Chain A
Amino acid sequence: MNAEPAALTGRKPDWFRPPQDGKALVATRVSLSRNLGGIIFPPRASEMTLANVETLLRHRLEELGDPPFDAYFPLTSADSLAAALLRERLLLPPHVLSGPSRGVAVSPGETVSAAVNLLDHLTLVVMEAGFRPDRVWERADEIDDRLAGAVEFAFDDEFGFLTVSPEDVGTGLHIEFVAHLPALVLTSQTDKVVRALSEIGFRLLPLAEGGAGHLFRVRSARTFGPDEGETIADVLETAPVVENYELAARDSLSSPAKRIVFEDRVARAVALLDNARLMSASEALDALSLVGLGASFGLAPTGAADLLFRLYFDLLPAHLRLSAGRETDDTERKRLRADMVRRAWNGLAGPRPEE
């Protein structure tokens, strides 16, 4: 059933919840790139081919029955507001083509999605809250197998699954985890993490533009060579290292040298949340992330820990524009955002830094 992306605003995807035990790992995401055998890939396919592929894949996806893809978002322009909204929700591949007969099928709660003709003929994505690469991979693998029974995938004994981008050839598999890393940002260690991760075949990407809210994606990059099991093992090994690094950075914030700097940052965030009348997305999300972290040090109300996760999507640029339901200019959107944040913030009770 065709749907408008605006229908997604106002609700959170099921995979997006505060990390367990107040730690750093938010969600797990598995994506599989696939193409149909004997059919020109989307970047070079004619409009007729694209239309046929879209019809075929939409039928096959519907016939799967499980998961029920209850919404299909047609997407003809990669630069549109609709595309920006779907991108903010991680429903699109990293690079997306523009043109007719493209779109993404989404299951309830957005735990499973299938992008059609957006780069490859099909990109299957499974996401779940928490860190569980085994489980999420098993789910993706099982859906992939059932799809392979219904369509023939482009495959080569030596190259594996054939994809549009050289970054995906082989397993076509990228596993990533979403991580909340405020202390690594505060202690200016993200560059170090980027370098360390790239050496072991991982990329650190911002979840939202500019890394707003100190939320990141750590994504496996190697698809040609390691098999699926090895990629999962690498992720299982990497995630705790990144998390412990963040937790160590959090501990370091209460050292005598850093404590006052950290308190100052939290207090400024509190002042912003108390008083700002206009807020950009990164301003709002960074402030919410800081008071969230501050809450675990007794510097902000305890409810503040979850505020970032409650408001995150609503505050993102494309979400805000679409949920406004009318044409808005930049200042108006900043005002709407500041109002939304202040309302939620004022609803919390608890210690403030000055008290």
Chain B
Amino acid sequence: MLCGRCGEKNASIHVIEVGSGGPRSLHLCSSCAAEIGLMVGIDADKLEESLRALIGEEPPPEAEQPAFESCPDCGFSLSGEEGSPALFGCEKDFVLFRFPIQSLLHRRHGGKAHKGKRPASDGSAARKQQALRALEKRLEEAVRAENFELAAEIRDRIRELT
């Protein structure tokens, strides 16, 4: 089909214009469409952005290229040293190079995220247990040495802890 405006080029844009006289079909080539301000070429990024907005999706992270070449804390860089495989140097590497590391791990292990256990974080409980065990040991020693005054003292402290 030829362009309804210039009649020369192939029509590639098909619009339905709704005016006072009811809906009307327009068949235009891309240059005529641009001339009448219908269409200024498709900006793929803008299109993606509007599509994302439409389905309520967050835009992807700015760039997969990290802002740093190496970690300011430990000096780690993705290329490693002298061809040796990269060894991570501190926790920060995993923040600074999150996306490259993610794809590295995905390639190597096939997984997308950690699913396993988390550190048992109740440090206070562990420390309390430790203190208890130490006190119990001292209690035993005190009893063996027949130092009952000290033993009673230790027993009170154990009661406080439990």
Chain A contact residues, CB within 8 Å of chain B: 35, 37-41, 43-44, 63, 65, 141, 144-146, 148-150, 152-167, 169-171, 173, 201, 221-228
Min Cβ gap B96→A in Å is: 12
Which of B15-23, B45-53, B106-114 forms part of the interface with chain A?
B106-114
With A40-B89, A43-B87, A223-B109 as known contacts, state yes or no: A160 contacts B75, CB within 8 Å: no
Nearest chain A residue, comparing its CB with the CB of B111: A225
Task: Report whether A170 and B109 are in contact in the complex, using a CB–CB cutoff of 8 Å.
Answer: yes
| CB interface residues, B 62-109, toward A, < 8 Å | 73-76, 85-91, 94, 98, 101-102, 104-106, 108-109
Task: Report whether B116 and A170 are in contact in the complex, using a CB–CB cutoff of 8 Å.
Answer: yes
Task: Report whether B85 and A166 are in contact in the complex, using a CB–CB cutoff of 8 Å.
Answer: yes
Tell me the complex Cα distance, A226–B108, Å: 13
Task: Report whether A225 and B88 are in contact in the complex, using a CB–CB cutoff of 8 Å.
Answer: no
Tell me the complex Cα distance, A354–B127, Å: 67
Chain A residues lying within 8 Å of B110, measured Cβ to Cβ, are 201, 222, 225
Nearest chain B residue, comparing its CB with the CB of A66: B133
Tell me the complex Cα distance, A57–B104, Å: 30
Tell me whether chain B's interface is mostly helix, strand or loop, or mixed. Answer: loop
Task: Report whether B88 and A163 are in contact in the complex, using a CB–CB cutoff of 8 Å.
Answer: yes
Contact of B114 among A38, A43, A150, A158 (CB under 8 A): A158
Tell me the complex Cα distance, A39–B90, Å: 7
Chain B contact residues, CB within 8 Å of chain A: 73-76, 85-91, 94, 98, 101-102, 104-106, 108-123, 125-127, 129-130, 133
Tell me the complex Cα distance, A224–B108, Å: 9
Task: Report whether B104 and A166 are in contact in the complex, using a CB–CB cutoff of 8 Å.
Answer: yes
Tell me the complex Cα distance, A146–B87, Å: 27
With A44-B74, A44-B75, A153-B119 as known contacts, state yes or no: A170 contacts B126, CB within 8 Å: no
With A162-B91, A165-B87, A169-B105 as known contacts, state yes or no: A149 contacts B115, CB within 8 Å: no
Task: Report whether A37 and B116 are in contact in the complex, using a CB–CB cutoff of 8 Å.
Answer: no
Tell me the complex Cα distance, A63–B129, Å: 10
Task: Report whether A43 and B104 are in contact in the complex, using a CB–CB cutoff of 8 Å.
Answer: no
Min Cβ gap B105→A in Å is: 5
Tell me the complex Cα distance, A157–B85, Å: 24
Tell me the complex Cα distance, A159–B113, Å: 6
Contact of A149 among B73, B86, B125 (CB under 8 A): B125
With A41-B74, A148-B120, A159-B114 as known contacts, state yes or no: A166 contacts B105, CB within 8 Å: yes
Chain A residues lying within 8 Å of B91, measured Cβ to Cβ, are 35, 37-38, 154, 156, 162
Chain B residues lying within 8 Å of A146, measured Cβ to Cβ, are 120, 126, 129
Task: Report whether A225 and B112 are in contact in the complex, using a CB–CB cutoff of 8 Å.
Answer: yes
Chain B residues lying within 8 Å of A153, measured Cβ to Cβ, are 119
Tell me the complex Cα distance, A41–B86, Å: 13
Contact of B76 among A38, A44, A165 (CB under 8 A): A44
Min Cβ gap B36→A in Å is: 50
Tell me the complex Cα distance, A72–B89, Å: 25
Tell me the complex Cα distance, A158–B113, Å: 5
Chain A residues lying within 8 Å of B133, measured Cβ to Cβ, are 65
